[in-house]
Amino acid sequence: MNTTNNTIKEALNERSGFQVWWRLLRPHTLTASFAPVFVGTMVALQDTTLHIWLFLAMLVASMLIQSATNMFNEYYDFVRGLDTEESVGIGGTIVRDGIKPKTVLNLALVFYFISLLLGVYICMESSWLIAVIGLICMAFGYLYTGGPFPIAYTPLGELFSGFFMGTVIIGISYYIQTGNLSSQVIWISIPVAIFIGCIMLSNNIRDLDGDKESGRKTIAILLGRPNATRFLALLFGIAFLLTTTYIFLGILPTWSLLTYLAIPKAIKVVKNFWGKTQPLEMMPAMIATGKTNTIYGLSLGLSLLLFHIF
């Protein structure tokens, strides 16, 4: 292990043992799969009784698919030579911890297989239409960084991730509980989708320089870091404005004012990005973006649960 490797690991507080595999999952992003399932299920709770096993199966399957997507990202970026020992926004299991690339790929495929089994159960209890949608989601997870034209290397990464992980997952979570869809759940999914897209955007703002050298064409690269940070702030503002509008229109209950708890964290994200140019300097902003999504998603789901109870 060379000096640079040691320096990066110390700066990122990376440890050996179990922590290696935990980092591979990129746990700070996993609420991007947990929150949509929680929100979609809580919206369904307004119309039906909770099917707890369907909820748990959907939750685990979604988190496995996202974890596998993170592993595909780690594997293919390494294969294409994009990740090095100095790369910050990765688990580092391959380039810094010495885990074999094939091991990472195989583990991702195992996660996909388990999610497929869970998907079969979900379809048996709801509709086989979910199988088609689920397979499309899994294909997207792979093509995000795999295949000849990775979505993550284009300006569409944020849009696809927000749509599939936000709107689609919320819609499925609602459908398997109720057997139908409603306009309410689609509207409610939009702010959640925006926050998930913001996680990808903040990742791309941090990695802008390295991504640009590798030939990527992300939104952050096209806008430049200052304008991309402004765009991130605009997206946060739109998400909170939509939430406020939904409360005013009765699409969301007054309890959903709890989502305002995420506003200070969103402000912190923008402040931590502003004027920064080094990836390590921007790590706090990236982490804060994930926390913003967590606070918003959990408080939104909680507000719907409180509305149902009271």
Q: Is residue 264 part of a domain?
A: yes
CB contact at 8 A, 293 and 31: yes
Which pLDDT score, from 0 to 100, does residue 51 have? 95
Output the DSSP codes for 85-145: TT--SS--TTTTT---HHHHHHHHHHHHHHHHHHHHHHHHHS-THHHHHHHHHHHHHHHTT
User: pLDDT at position 8, please?
Assistant: 46
For 263, the domain range is: 16-309
Q: Is the pLDDT of residue 245 over 90?
A: yes
Distance of CA 166 to the CA centre of its chain: 8
The answer to the question of residue 181 being in a domain is yes
Could you report the per-residue pLDDT of 189-206, keeping only the tens digit for each? Answer: 999 999 999 999 999 999
Q: Is 115 a member of any domain? A: yes
Tell me if 4 is assigned to some domain.
no
Examine residue 103 and state whether it is found in any structural domain, yes or no: yes
The answer to whether position 2 is within a domain reads: no
Region 245-252: mean pLDDT is 97
- Total number of domains constituting the chain: 1
Residue 125, judged by CB atoms within 10 A of its CB (0-12, 13-18, 19+), counts as middle
Residue 161 lies in a domain: yes
The answer to whether position 5 is within a domain reads no
Please determine, for residue 88, whether its predicted confidence score (pLDDT) is greater than 80: no
The CATH number of residue 54's host domain is 1.10.600
> Is the pLDDT at 177 greater than 70, yes or no?
yes
The confidence score (pLDDT) of residue 142 equals 86
